[in-house]
Structure 1
Amino acid sequence: MSPAPRRRWGLGARLLAAIVAVILVAAGTAWAVASAIGPEIFHDHMLMAQPSDSSVITHAEEAFTTAWTLSLSLALLAALLTSVVVSVFLTRRIARSLERVRQAAAQVASGDYAARVPEIHMGTEFDDLAGAFNTMAADLGEIEQTRTRMLGDLAHEMRTPVATLDGYLEGILDGVVAADEPTLGMLREQAARLARLAQDITLVTAAGEGRLSMHWQPLKVGALIEDAAAQAAAMFTDEGVELRVEATEEARQTVLTADPDRLGQVLTNLLDNAVRHTPHGGRVQLGAQRTGSTLRLSVRDSGSGIAAEHLPHLFERFYRADAARDRAHGGSGIGLAIVHSIVLAHGGTVTVASAGPDHGAVFTVELPVDAGHRPQPRSA
């Protein structure tokens, strides 16, 4: 039989034992010092008094020894008992406070991220510990909610193209559907949608973990916006939406230290988002202005607009202000999260504003202009 595990002392018992040990050592030290110094000092004072009878000195020293021994013993005993009582109170209070932290930690470990540690009022260190724990629990709860929503949305995004592929392939095998050029083109489109989704997830995950690779080099803003407009031209033509580029000459001549591919992806995602939410006959404006050491890029559309409650969440992964519409157009719900991550990596900010539904929206990217120097990423 294996030996039974030894019973470990709790923190309260250890604290009490440590305090009692300190008290006993202090009492022993006080007794030793008093024994070594007190009688000698009293004896010297008696000799200085020069009594006529030596028996007086002996009697006085015996009386002094009895008196200090008894009084010091009673004083040390009273101090020991009082200290033990106070120590028991303090250790129990500390142990109860830490037990609350332990119970809350156990709840979080079991998946209950709503667990919180109440205020302890045992000093700054304990209050800081409780505050840090509660902040951690709240962050974990938000992460878990995001993870759950992300997995659900990811499953939905994959379900549609996978079901389409499976249905058409089954139809081809059964001879119901002809493997003609339109069918194969549609299958390739669905496969490309899955590949694009995987690529987007990889990119936004790398950005969230700080692993987003950047290739810094001088970049002329004029070339950046013209390339983005040229790449989006066909898509705007197909949707019947007008695309205008309005950039000041100063902005066009501005040179950034940036990753051209990443910033190009920012504008491409914003333009793609704008055209998907702008009806036929609408207009999207790609603008660029420079104010001092800040370059401002903007994408303004005359589309469906955004309700106020959605604005703070648009740059979250898989968040949609209009889920049904985005899914119908093949959006993954990651494009704006990618924009946010890339802009932050360039030391800039991205914001969105809208007067409400049917009043369009404007996305604004602000980047620092410091040619020759690598931007410092901002915290999210």
Structure 2
Amino acid sequence: MFAFIYLTFSTGFNQFIEQEEQKHVDAVKQQLIELYSQSNSWQPIEQNTLLWRSIVEQNVEPGVEKDPSLNGGGESAKDRQAKGKQDSPSPAFLWINLPPGSLKTGQRISLYDVNKQVIVGRAHLSDSPQVESILLNNNVIGWIGFAPSRLVESSPAKAFLTAQFYSYFMITLCVMLVAFIVAIVLSRHLMKPIRQIVAGTNALKKGDFSNRIPPLTQDELGTLSMNVNELAQTLEENQQMRAQWVSDTSHELKTPLTVLRSHLLAVQDGVFVPDEKRIALLIKQVDNLNHIVDDLTQLAHSDTAVFTYNLEHVDIINVFKSSLDDFSMRFEQQGLVVHSQSLQKAGQCIIKGDKDRLQQLFLNLLENACKYTNKGGQLNIEVNKTASDIELTLQDSAPSVSPEDQEKLFERFYRVEKSRNRALGGSGLGLALCKQIVDAHKGDIYLQDSPLGGLAVQMRFPVLEK
């Protein structure tokens, strides 16, 4: 910028000076022509040095007046020069208001006669860098030699350019220093959140998921810091869930294994007799283990997208009826009264789903209702159909579940120990499987209080357009 500005300025300033000096030379030529036309010779100038100075210099020294006859009784050459400046303003540097004679142009003008002999100024015409002829009625009456300001070492214009060069150079150094200081401050300001983000990601890489990055800015770096914090929180929660998963899995498997080991050791020591009742107990514990392993396998398959679904057009009402028929004997043994009139009147309802998975869903829910409802209780089944979806609701009687526990029942291995305890044989994976199946069918499943005093399970599935 310094080089560009200075080159632009010096070029424009030199053009401006040349224009001003050319105006000065033209004005001098005009006055010399008027003077020569009166005396038909250059003798007045040869005999009067002050006259020459009054012509070539714009400011007349005190006490020296110009001959009015030089101007033909009209306006002076100086007035015409000033008028010419007003009529033809310089295209650039109009803000510069040069005082008359400040360029000392008159000191660099020489006058020669028609034979190129010096009258005033340099001894030889060839010594002048710029030569112009003086014409009167298209006849050469003399010559003017002129040395432009840019070619003179001690000229005011060149001195002015030199002073401007040093001024611009100092300004450039100051600007560079300020820019350097601002760059350091700004880089530190920008690097501080970046260093924090790098430190935070390094902590995540080392497994420290509790580390958080304090957002220092409201820009993109602040957004990135918040995203890294959310990632750290997610990883921390996943780590805790993984640890809880391993702990719950080992605990669930340990219970039937402990029972199996204690009974087998008792049989080995002769404490228990391996009769039919004892063997049936051991088989029941093996079945519990097998049930837990099957649930874990299905959930693992669902998490890794291996849990396949054969989607087709399925009448969900018929699937529910079939599952309900399979549990009719269990309900009688438990003494539960099932109200399914709404299901019987629902008619056909086609959705896109997997019949086997839907049946698994309904069997799990009916198993929970049968297992966790007090004897002599009730089970109410409600069906609500709209043009876009179907809603199935299972409402059982006491015991109920608190709202806090309802939010956690879809978590794996979670059970309400007081009313739905491990003694009933549950693994705590049934509702987690149910949610996986409902989500795979693009449906929703909710838990809420039942009007019968127990728990209500509400499912909604999108239906196919007729």
For this structure pair, what is the TM-score category when the shorter chain's length is used for normalisation?
0.7 to 0.9
- Letter of the structure 1 residue corresponding to residue 464 of structure 2: D
Classify the secondary structure of the residue corresponding to 1:367: strand
Name the CA distance, whole Å, in 1 between partners of 2:387 and 2:394.
20
Name the CA distance, whole Å, in 2 between partners of 1:173 and 1:68.
111
1:116–1:134 contact (8 Å) kept in structure 2: yes
Q: Structure 2: 5+ residue runs without aligned partners?
A: 23-104, 109-146
Name the CA distance, whole Å, in 1 between partners of 2:418 and 2:192.
48
Question: Aligned to 2:321, which of 215, 226, 239?
Answer: 226
2:388–2:465 contact (8 Å) kept in structure 1: no
Question: Aligned to 1:263, which of 358, 365, 379?
Answer: 358
1:289–1:296 contact (8 Å) kept in structure 2: yes
Note if 1:279 corresponds to 2:250: no
**Residue aligning to 1:349:** 444
1:117, CA displacement in angstroms?
Answer: 2.1
**Residue aligning to 2:190:** 94
1:175, CA displacement in angstroms?
Answer: 4.3
Task: State how many pairs are aligned.
Answer: 341
Question: Aligned to 1:72, which of 160, 168, 184?
Answer: 168
Identity rate, percent: 26
Q: Which has the higher contact order (CA 8 A, sep 6+)?
A: 1
Name the CA distance, whole Å, in 2 between partners of 1:206 and 1:314.
20
Note if 1:294 corresponds to 2:389: yes
Name the CA distance, whole Å, in 2 between partners of 1:95 and 1:43.
48
Name the CA distance, whole Å, in 2 between partners of 1:190 and 1:168.
11
1:369, CA displacement in angstroms?
Answer: 0.5
Superposed, 1:12-91 pairs within 5 Å as 30-34=1-5, 36-49=7-20, 50=22, 51-52=105-106, 53=108, 54=147, 56-57=149-150, 58=152, 59-91=155-187
Name the CA distance, whole Å, in 2 between partners of 1:238 and 1:113.
51
**Residue aligning to 1:332:** 427
Superposed, 1:1-380 pairs within 5 Å as 30-34=1-5, 36-49=7-20, 50=22, 51-52=105-106, 53=108, 54=147, 56-57=149-150, 58=152, 59-123=155-219, 125-248=220-343, 251-322=346-417, 325-354=420-449, 359-370=453-464
- Letter of the structure 2 residue corresponding to residue 242 of structure 1: V
Classify the secondary structure of the residue corresponding to 2:10: helix
1:55, CA displacement in angstroms?
Answer: 6.0
- Report the more deviating stretch, 220-229 or 51-60: 51-60
- Letter of the structure 2 residue corresponding to residue 99 of structure 1: R
Classify the secondary structure of the residue corresponding to 1:313: coil
2:149–2:158 contact (8 Å) kept in structure 1: no
Name the CA distance, whole Å, in 2 between partners of 1:209 and 1:93.
44
Deviations 1:29-75 (A, max 9, x none): x2342454443333222222224422633324532442232122111
**Per the alignment, do residues 131 and 221 of structure 1 end up closer, same or farther by CA in structure 2, a change over 3 Å counting?**
same
Classify the secondary structure of the residue corresponding to 1:297: strand
Name the CA distance, whole Å, in 1 between partners of 2:346 and 2:240.
41
- Letter of the structure 1 residue corresponding to residue 16 of structure 2: H
Deviations 1:170-210 (A, max 9, x none): 33444444433333332222222222212212222333344
2:18–2:148 contact (8 Å) kept in structure 1: no
| Larger Rg belongs to | 2
1:313–1:319 contact (8 Å) kept in structure 2: yes
1:248–1:289 contact (8 Å) kept in structure 2: no
1:260, CA displacement in angstroms?
Answer: 0.8
Q: Structure 1: 5+ residue runs without aligned partners?
A: 1-29, 373-380
Name the CA distance, whole Å, in 2 between partners of 1:324 and 1:96.
55
1:246–1:288 contact (8 Å) kept in structure 2: no
1:256–1:369 contact (8 Å) kept in structure 2: yes
More helix by share: 1
**Residue aligning to 2:66:** none
Name the CA distance, whole Å, in 2 between partners of 1:314 and 1:269.
13
Name the CA distance, whole Å, in 2 between partners of 1:353 and 1:47.
96
2:450–2:456 contact (8 Å) kept in structure 1: no
1:280, CA displacement in angstroms?
Answer: 1.1
2:317–2:343 contact (8 Å) kept in structure 1: no
Name the CA distance, whole Å, in 2 between partners of 1:36 and 1:289.
86
Classify the secondary structure of the residue corresponding to 2:453: coil
Deviations 1:103-157 (A, max 9, x none): 433444455444322232252x122112212222222232223222222221211
2:397–2:450 contact (8 Å) kept in structure 1: no
